[in-house]
Amino acid sequence: MSAIKGPAIFLAQFAGEDAPFDTLENMAKWSASLGYKGIQVPTGPDLFDLDIAADSQDYCDDMAGMCREAGVEITELSTHLQGQLVAVHPAYDELFDAFAPAALHGKPQARTEWAVDQLKRAAKASQRLGLNAHATFSGALMWHLAYPWPQRPAGLVDQGFKELARRWRPILDAFDEAGVDVCYEIHPGEDLHDGATFERFLKEVDHHPRANILYDPSHFVLQQLDYLDFIDRYHERIKMFHVKDAEFLPDGRTGVYGGYQDWTERAGRFRSLGDGQVDFKGIFSKLTQYGFDGWAVLEWECCLKDSAQGAAEGAPFIERHLITPPRYAFDDFAGGEVSEALNQRILGLNNDN
């Protein structure tokens, strides 16, 4: 039975202009000082430059070596922002322009082409780093259709998934050539936001072996989806794991949709580890049961607790939940050597029957 690795931390929510959050080297040292053994790295020119990494083994070796010297290893790369730009409905063009270089603002077609190229570069960079999984978003052409009102024309959603698959198929093929899994974070705001939508996409990409899942239970709490049953259903496709907590506290005033309120006032809120409602013992048990051997990666997002406190508490929290699988069955002592003749007798079978 395989073991989950960890603890690791996703750096995206901590990166900034001030030390120790300004460079990958500084963030690697900071992460190690808190007890983390791995870092999941968002890609961009400030931390990890895909334009260089895709073409330079030396650059990738230097970055990986620098992190190891600091005391952590790179667990995966992330292109959440670039993945979002693979598919953007025009209603969100201005909002998502900030995810792309300034020269591409107001140019949706060029922005999409850049995003696709970034994903393909991420496949090559991941290969150069010796990684086997990559984190991203699917983007969304249909999020404005999530609630079935007004009534959707027949075939509209099918056509949307076909287009989403058309855009992603060459990216998935590039990752397949690199030997790396694409792990979509199943997330509200994305066309892949629950099991049903992931299944529809998977069908349209002909069950591509590289189309997989970044499992994050916090997004399922906010949707009121059974996140343990999700593991039972999709464990073969779960290749990455974000350890993030959340709570859902509805009342007579607001529920799943949130009433356009800020995070502190919403019924569904992200919380620091241990402060929410997620059953992490159940999650770690199920993932261990199904042989998940990827990293347990803290993603910190909390509207009530400071990031420094959340990061400091995250490593020991994950450490406490890691399971060392047994080397042998607990009742092996009661067994004996394999004997077909003995089994025949126990079953009441003999040569006369």
Instruction: Give yes or no for a contact between 114 and 104, defined as CB atoms under 8 angstroms apart.
Output: yes
Please report the pLDDT score of residue 350 as a whole number: 76
Predicted confidence at residue 257, as pLDDT, reads 97
Confidence at residue 342, expressed as pLDDT on a 0 to 100 scale: 87
The closest of 303, 208, 173, 288 to 241, measured between CA atoms, is 288
pLDDT digits 0-9 by tens, 253-265: 999 999 999 999 9
> In terms of CATH architecture, what is 5-346?
Alpha-Beta Barrel (3.20)
Find the angle CA(67)-CA(63)-CA(312) to the nearest 5 degrees. Answer: 30
Q: Cα(17)–Cα(31) distance, rounded to whole angstroms?
A: 17
* Residue recorded with tokens 């900034």: 16
Question: Two tokens at 120?
Answer: 């393909």
Place of tokens 């004997």: 339
Say how far apart CA 11 and CA 323 lie, in whole Å.
Answer: 24
DSSP code at position 278: -
Share of the chain above pLDDT 90, in %: 92
**Domain spans in the chain, listed from the N-terminal domain onward:** 5-346
Stretch 127-156: mean pLDDT: 98
pLDDT band for 91, please (50, 70, 90 cuts). Answer: very high
Write the pLDDT tens digit of every residue in 203-258. Answer: 999 999 999 999 999 999 999 999 999 999 999 999 999 999 999 999 999 999 99
- Whether 147 has a pLDDT exceeding 80, the answer reads yes
Structure tokens at 90: 């025009």
Predicted confidence at residue 64, as pLDDT, reads: 98
Percent of the chain with pLDDT over 70: 97
pLDDT at 351: 62
| Mean pLDDT (whole number) for 141-160 | 97
pLDDT confidence tier of residue 2, bands split at 50, 70 and 90: confident
Mean pLDDT of 6-11: 98
CA distances from 41 to 49, 70, 349 (A): 11, 15, 61
> What are 326-346's pLDDT values in tens digits?
887 766 666 667 888 888 888
Structure tokens at 284: 């770690």
pTM of the model: 0.95
Residues 6+ apart with CB under 8 A from 352: none
**Cα–Cα distance for residue pair 120/338, rounded to 1 Å:** 52
Token code pair at residue 135: 């984190």
User: What tens digit of pLDDT does each residue of 106-125 get?
Assistant: 999 999 999 999 999 999 99
Residue 277 has pLDDT above 70, yes or no: yes
Q: Tell me what the pLDDT averaged over the chain comes to.
A: 96
Nearest in space to 243 (alpha carbons), one of 193, 181, 189, 185: 185
Element (H, E) at 109: helix 108-129
The answer to whether residues 278 and 218 touch, using CB atoms and an 8 Å cutoff, is yes
pLDDT of residue 258: 97
Instruction: Name the DSSP class of 55.
Output: T
Q: In angstroms, what CA-CA distances link 304 with 272, 310, 311?
A: 8, 10, 14
Q: What is the pLDDT of residues 32-89, one digit of tens each?
A: 999 999 999 999 999 999 999 999 999 999 999 999 999 999 999 999 999 999 999 9
Neighbours of 189 (CB within 10 A): 14
Residue 140 in contact with residue 87, Cβ under 8 Å? yes
The residues near 353 (Cβ < 8 Å, ≥ 6 apart) are none
In the chain the first and final C-alpha atoms are separated, in Å, by 40
Cβ proximity of 107 and 155 under 8 Å: no
Residue 175 has pLDDT above 80, yes or no: yes
pLDDT beyond 90 at 352? no
Residue 320: CA atoms inside 13 Å, Cβ hemisphere, count?
9
Q: Do residues 6 and 319 make contact, with C-beta atoms less than 8 angstroms apart?
A: yes
CB 140 within 8 A of CB 190: yes
